[in-house]
Chain A
Amino acid sequence: MRKKWTIGGIISGTIYENIAQITPKNELNCQLLLIYIVSYMTRIIRETMTKIKAENIKKIFKIRSNGNSKNNGNTPNELLALGGVDLSINKGEFVSIVGPSGCGKSTFLDLVGGLSKPNEGNIYIDGKPVNGPGLDRGIVFQQYALFPWRTALGNVEFGLENQNVLKKERTEIAQKYLSLVGLAGFENRYPYELSGGMKQRVAIARALAYDPDILLMDEPFGALDAQTREILQRELLHIWEETHKTILFITHSIDEAVFLSDRVAIMTARPGVIKKEMAVPLSRPARFEDDIRTSQDFVKTRYELWGHLKEEVVKAQQICANTTANLSLEKPVTTLEKVMTT
């Protein structure tokens, strides 16, 4: 007996054999069987295509209790940051999360990065539950997180050192990525000698250098001027096309989200959940055209996205205002004034 050793072949083969044993062969059964097989296969395919899957993720932070005691029925010193996030990202997909400040975007990224554990729910990468960080994921932190005692080059080499790449090769790779982000010539500068935008670019180079499957980027272009930002956005798209990495990207900018992603997920104000996911109807080549940001599809998507996001931003501000008001009960007026004016 010849067997085809493909996943489909094995599965349909075994199913067919099983069913054939217990049921008489007639046409109806055959058709049912086919439908069954097709649906089974689609599920398998979908599952093997999923790179990151988050199921009902909840995260609670313990906080020092102050006036802020009304936290959706939680005990006073607990803060529900994520209230059940569901999100799945396919292999090679570029997904952005947008949401108001403080809604839990960075918290979610940490969880996917394996740097903290959810209180409820599970995160899977390639079908395996995440239980710690790994070199399959590169993280660009919102606050750069560069090692101040290492030069730009030394910072970029860090991840490579843990992969046992030889010193010479390490330097070469690090140099390549530094020039990719436009920092050739700055290899020997210490972080304190770099501007905010430069630090951010070192952080990006560092995450790219050890070539992870997945990039987790937390507002990586936040500290850049408009021009550099646009250049790096394009650069990121190029890198993504060449390397087929799966990218989870967090941003405050709707414009950036639309420009870069296949899909944008909108997060609600705290406790954060994914409120809506929107596919971006822009083809890859179209994104490199000069007038893309004024094209009808772009403008329409951005407008729609803003419509969904606006509500949440207003809600988040109310949460903030409440917190401030509560604080004012305990703190002198001068503090309140400071809070309001800054």
Chain B
Amino acid sequence: MANNIIVQLKLLPQRLLAIIIFLLIWEIVPWVGLADPSFVPPASATFARLWELLLSGTLLTQTSISLQRAFAGFAIAVVTGIPLGFLVGWFKTFEKYMDPLLQTFRQLPILALFPVFILLFGIGEISKIAMIALACFWSVFMNTASGVMTVDPLLVKSARSMGASHSDMFKKVVLPAAIPAIFTGVRFAGTVALLMLVAAEMVGASSGLGYFVLNAQQRYASRDIFAGIVALTLLGVIINYILVTIEKKATSWKEDIVHG
């Protein structure tokens, strides 16, 4: 374990190289006049502003509002998507009838539903959370269903030959076999949640990071815009990191294809 951390640390400069180069370019471009500094503030100015916002407490307030929405939607999606995915994946007939409907719904541009949600739920929290939940739901649901459907029949056979009951088959074969697919869905849902969050907050909100960015644009506060974008990106990185870590724990029996 300790060894592992040392290896990771040694790799750190190498892994950060591209990011550092990117930040340098970002810094230089406004300086040399390739972009107007009043529209694209250099990296240093952006991070300085981010630091100010952090100290003033604005950043934390907005982030926590956004996180609550994203998390609520994400959680609803996970709690409904996984069981329904199992249902559709497990019962072949169900899947047969549901598939055309599902395939159609999947193509539905969820952002276009936002006006409908606002009509139904009003401009408050519910419509935003519902939109995030719906978008995340597809990812979780579809991946779970396909994970269940693609369980290796040989393993089912093997379990059957060893006297596994119906419930054993579910607990000991289908569930573990579907775990990687479920986590792929959940991880993707994490990304989608953030995407939808920003969209929802830009369209109809008066708080949250998405609103903060939009509001900054209306105030021509370009440093705030970029600080908000950086904050959202960092949030995305952190969420993804957490989900990947959980995923790795849950699928430790799988061969590491990408090392590190």
Contact = CB atoms under 8 A, between A and B. Distances in A.
Interface residues of B, number: 20
Interface of A: 110, 113-115, 133-135, 137-139, 141, 143, 145-151, 158-159, 161-163, 190-192, 206, 210
Nearest to B154: A145
B253 A135 contact: no
A148 B161 contact: no
Nearest to B252: A190
A158 B176 contact: no
Interface stretch (B108-116, B120-128, B165-173, B236-244): B165-173
B177 interface: yes
Task: Determine chain A's interface SS by DSSP, over half rule.
Answer: loop
B160 interface: yes
Given A133-B163, A141-B158, A158-B164, 18 more contacts: A115-B157, A133-B162, A137-B161, A141-B157, A145-B157, A147-B158, A147-B172, A148-B254, A149-B179, A150-B253, A159-B162, A161-B168, A162-B162, A162-B163, A162-B165, A163-B163, A192-B253, A192-B254
A113 B161 contact: yes
A286 B149 CA distance: 51
B9 interface: no
A137 B161 CA distance: 8
Contacts of A150: 253
Interface in B161-195: 161-165, 168, 172-173, 176-177, 179
B157, B164, B254: residue with the most chain A Cβ atoms closer than 10 Å: B157
A190 B253 contact: yes
Interface of B: 154-155, 157-165, 168, 172-173, 176-177, 179, 253-255
A235 to B, nearest CB: 21
Contacts of B159: 147, 158
A145 B163 contact: no
Contact of B155 (A114, A139, A145, A161): A145
A115 B253 CA distance: 27
Contact of B163 (A151, A159, A206): A159
* 6 nearest A-B residue pairs (beta carbon): A145-B158, A159-B162, A162-B163, A149-B176, A192-B255, A149-B253
B154, B159, B162, B176: residue with the most chain A Cβ atoms closer than 10 Å: B162
Given A148-B253, A149-B253, A141 B154 contact: yes
A145 B160 CA distance: 12
